[in-house]
Amino acid sequence: MFNTVFIKEEKSMATEKEMHELVGRAVMDVGFRKKLVADPKAAAKEAGITLTEEQLAVLKSAEGKGLAAVLEERLPKSPGPI
């Protein structure tokens, strides 16, 4: 018998759709938004998204604060009616 080894191929970067999903989740989920502010790379990994250094820089760069931090400031702190 042959031993089959499965190797999970890691993607090298998030797609544009995945980036939109990441930001969308941050908009809708206060807890996830806080994780994204605190540690964007870990939050993305939790969401199953692999970020490049450039993509990570984009999340951190908005207005010098980071996109996630800007979302945190501008969006309601608790979920409300949509």
pLDDT tens for 61-71 read 755 566 666 66
pLDDT at residue 82 above 60?
A: no
Token pair for residue 24? 């969308």
Contacts of 47 (CB under 8 A, 6+ apart): 21, 22, 25, 32
Distances (CA, A) of 61 to 5, 20, 69: 41, 16, 10
DSSP secondary structure letter of residue 35: H
Q: What is the pLDDT of residue 59?
A: 77
The full set of domain ranges for the chain reads 16-74
Q: How many CB atoms lie within 10 A of CB 66?
A: 19
Name the pTM for this structure. Answer: 0.62
Q: What is the pLDDT of residue 6?
A: 42
